[in-house]
Structure 1
């Protein structure tokens, strides 16, 4: 599981950074990719990256401001032309369905794969054997959401030394034990899965926030996350400006990370006033004074989500 940032700028693109889009690569977990927001130019960023459009499975939109959705109609219409036939499900606030359908209809774009659009107002949006995705509303000028992605615990590996002590060799029996079944050896010994399967692998938690100023839902949504992605549009000397425009400072993001007990904080959604990575260093230093394990997201940056 790893995050790949396709855009880290706020408002409008610059020569250094595109507007918001984040890919969550789940290649080992389910051989797919999820996208969080789709600002203008996102499909161009994908073409310049190792990401594959054919693996795109879900798109989660945080809110309907242009720098988070203007790339969506183009990406959806181009995906089919690139040979993708699998379904895409788009989740977003009320209005996302009308936006997508109107854009595709007026432009006479043809979608040759199943497209599902789900409007939501928070809560659990998706759950299967491997993952659960929950959303909660934030505080922004538009209805904006944060998403909490929880990877469910996975069965532990087989204890190979223990299996060898029973005289068992790799084969179908290993698979049965891994699935939790009991097996009987040729000499009549019954081996239970609990005897030879190690402790479960703890699932990871990622929280990705849309645009927001500090609000009550951030900490519960991010609680105990392995990685929190939080906007940091301004430095704290512009706290009043951030509040006026419903954004956060780097220091406010760090305070939220500390209160939520997350393991790592990733800052993104930077104002264009901070021209390049050098000008962003003061934001990083400001956040690290409160929460030391903080990083700056960069366009085309790949960040593994560690346990």
Structure 2
């Protein structure tokens, strides 16, 4: 699993940061990519990466502000010309369907692939054999949401030495045992997997927050995340401004991470008032509270290794 930050600015694009978009690459897990928000020029940002738009199968929209959705119509259209044939599902707040349908209709755009648009409120959005995705409403003036992506636990390592001691030699039978609760060998022996496999491998958790004021109500939602992606529109000195505009500061995001047993914090959605020369100051503010903090820049990558 890998997070690719395609846009890390807020409000309007700048020379140093484009507006919001994050790609979660699940190429090994599902041979697909999930996109979180799609600000203006996201498809241009993708041109600077190895991301193939046809591999994007799900798009999750945190909220309906323009810096998070204005890139959608162009990306949807271009996907038709870039080999996109599989179903693309878009999850978003109320209004996302009207926005997309109207944009495609008035521009005369016809897609070459099936498109599903799902509007949500709160709770579980999606579940398959590998992942569960849930969302939580945040505090941003308009409906804004965070997403928690939970990988399901995987079966532990096969205990080969124990199998050999039981008289079961290596071969295709080992794979059968790992994939099935109960297996009968050629000589009629019944093998129960739970007796020959180690503890489950804990699944990874990524939480991606949309625009939000700081709130202790978000602790349970982000608890135990391997990676928490949180907006830090303002530095600590602008706490009053952050509250007035329904945003968070560096220290507020770090405090949430510190109080929620998070493994790593990645700050994004940085105001254009801050230049590259300010990055170290913003990062230092957060690290004073939560040392395992990174400040994302455009094309920043974070790998989330299996446990």
The answer as to whether partners of 2:37 and 2:61 remain within 8 angstroms in 1 is: yes
Distance in 1, matches of 2:149 and 2:182, equals 33
Pairing 1:92-111 to 2, within 5 Å after superposition: 92-111=92-111
Give 1:189 shift.
4.2
The answer as to whether partners of 2:38 and 2:69 remain within 8 angstroms in 1 is: yes
Give 1:256 shift.
0.8
Equivalent in the alignment of 1:297:
296
Distance in 1, matches of 2:23 and 2:274, equals 23
- TM-score, normalised to structure 2, is 0.95
Give 1:192 shift.
2.2
Distance in 2, matches of 1:305 and 1:161, equals 30
Pairing 1:4-19 to 2, within 5 Å after superposition: 4-19=4-19
- 87 and 164 in structure 1: CA distance in 2 versus 1, 3 angstrom threshold: same
The answer as to whether partners of 1:8 and 1:269 remain within 8 angstroms in 2 is: yes
Distance in 2, matches of 1:175 and 1:207, equals 33
- 186 and 123 in structure 1: CA distance in 2 versus 1, 3 angstrom threshold: closer
Q: Mean alpha-carbon deviation: is it higher for 237-246 or for 158-167? A: 158-167
Equivalent in the alignment of 2:52:
52
Distance in 2, matches of 1:298 and 1:248, equals 18
Distance in 1, matches of 2:207 and 2:183, equals 41
Equivalent in the alignment of 2:252:
252
Distance in 1, matches of 2:107 and 2:216, equals 40
The answer as to whether partners of 1:137 and 1:217 remain within 8 angstroms in 2 is: no
Cα deviation digits, residues 137-179 of structure 1 (max 9, x gap)? 10112210001111110112322333444342222x2232112
Give 1:217 shift.
3.6
Equivalent in the alignment of 2:23:
23
Gaps (5+ residues) in structure 2? Answer: none
Equivalent in the alignment of 2:278:
279
Q: Mean alpha-carbon deviation: is it higher for 182-191 or for 41-50? A: 182-191
- TM-score, normalised to structure 1, is 0.95
- Root mean square deviation of aligned Cα: 1.4
Distance in 2, matches of 1:109 and 1:17, equals 29
The answer as to whether partners of 2:31 and 2:55 remain within 8 angstroms in 1 is: yes
- 216 and 92 in structure 1: CA distance in 2 versus 1, 3 angstrom threshold: farther
The answer as to whether partners of 2:216 and 2:256 remain within 8 angstroms in 1 is: no
Pairing 1:155-194 to 2, within 5 Å after superposition: 155-165=155-165, 166-171=167-172, 173-185=173-185, 189-194=189-194
Equivalent in the alignment of 1:205:
205
Pairing 1:257-268 to 2, within 5 Å after superposition: 257-268=257-268
> Per the alignment, in what secondary structure is the counterpart of residue 175 of structure 2?
helix
Equivalent in the alignment of 2:227:
227
